[in-house]
Amino acid sequence: MILEVAILDIKDGQNEAFESAFSKAQVYISCQKGYISHELQHCLEQPNRYILLVNWESLEDHTIGFRQSAEYQEWKQLLHYFYDPFPEVWHFTKIKP
Amino acid sequence: MILEVAILDIKDGQNEAFESAFSKAQVYISCQKGYISHELQHCLEQPNRYILLVNWESLEDHTIGFRQSAEYQEWKQLLHYFYDPFPEVWHFTKIKP
């Protein structure tokens, strides 16, 4: 299992519009092969900041499967406008106990 | 519920020692009032990077309860040596649906 992590800083004054767009966009990620779960959380210290956490079965389910899908174009169109700057995305795996 | 997020970049060549120290240190966080769960995950793109995610009942359970506890001194002593740079920590809350 892979955890996708993106710290999302959005343009000033756009929280409500961004959250509304995200609530529409999330259907385009939830239907992907290898998608397990996701959550969007809002930062207490920086009101323009969110974190997106997505669990995938494999790295490629995100980086190839989702990013090359038709649904990614819809996701982009709904969300990319809000980002300032454009976010870095990292992937993590659990530490073996 | 509050999600504490820290991106941890550690010194070169210290992964094994850091993971070993973390496996000892985690008992000091797990016993705190308001602690719910935690996970440490390792970054695929940057081998020196980890993410620590901790769920707390409230912000103060982390920022006051844990940070002013005797156990925090043990946690610091085990882990702070490895960080380069010293990490920023943010707190997040779930978006209302």
Spell out the domain ranges in chain A.
2-85
- Mean pLDDT, residues B50-76 taken together: 97
ipTM of the complex: 0.94
- Mean pLDDT, residues B69-88 taken together: 97
What is the pLDDT, as a whole number, of residue A96? 74
Q: What is the CATH number of domain B2-89?
A: 3.30.70.100
Q: Which of B18, B21, B27 lies closest to B70 in space, CA to CA?
A: B27
What is the pLDDT, as a whole number, of residue A97? 64
Q: At residue B65, does pLDDT exceed 90? A: yes
What is the pLDDT, as a whole number, of residue B39? 96
Q: Do A41 and B97 touch (CB under 8 A)?
A: no
What is the pLDDT, as a whole number, of residue B16? 97
Cα separation, B37 vs B56, in Å, equals 7
CB nearest B42 (choices: A45, A51, A95):
A95
Q: Which of A88, A23, A96 lies closest to B96 in space, CA to CA?
A: A23
- Average pLDDT in chain B: 97
User: Can you list the residues of chain A whose pLDDT is less than 50?
Assistant: none
Cα separation, B86 vs A87, in Å, equals 21
Instruction: Check residue A56 and report its DSSP letter.
Output: E
Test mutation, A19, A79, A92, chain B, max B CBs within 10 A: A92
Q: Which residues of B touch A48 (CB under 8 A)?
A: none
Q: Do A43 and B95 touch (CB under 8 A)?
A: no
What is the pLDDT, as a whole number, of residue B46? 97
What CATH number does domain A2-85 carry, 3.40.50.150, 3.30.200.20, 3.30.70.100, 3.50.50.60? Answer: 3.30.70.100
- Mean pLDDT, residues B69-89 taken together: 97
Contacts of A33 (CB under 8 A, 6+ apart): A61, A65
Residue A27 burial by Cβ neighbours in a 10 Å radius (0-12, 13-18, 19+)? exposed
Q: Which residues of A touch B44 (CB under 8 A)?
A: 2, 59, 90-93
Q: Which residues of A touch B38 (CB under 8 A)?
A: none
What is the pLDDT, as a whole number, of residue B97? 64
User: pTM of the prediction?
Assistant: 0.95
Q: What is the pLDDT of residues A32-57, one digit of tens each?
A: 999 999 999 999 999 999 999 999 99
Closest residue of chain B to A95, computed from CA coordinates: B41
Closest residue of chain A to B4, computed from CA coordinates: A43
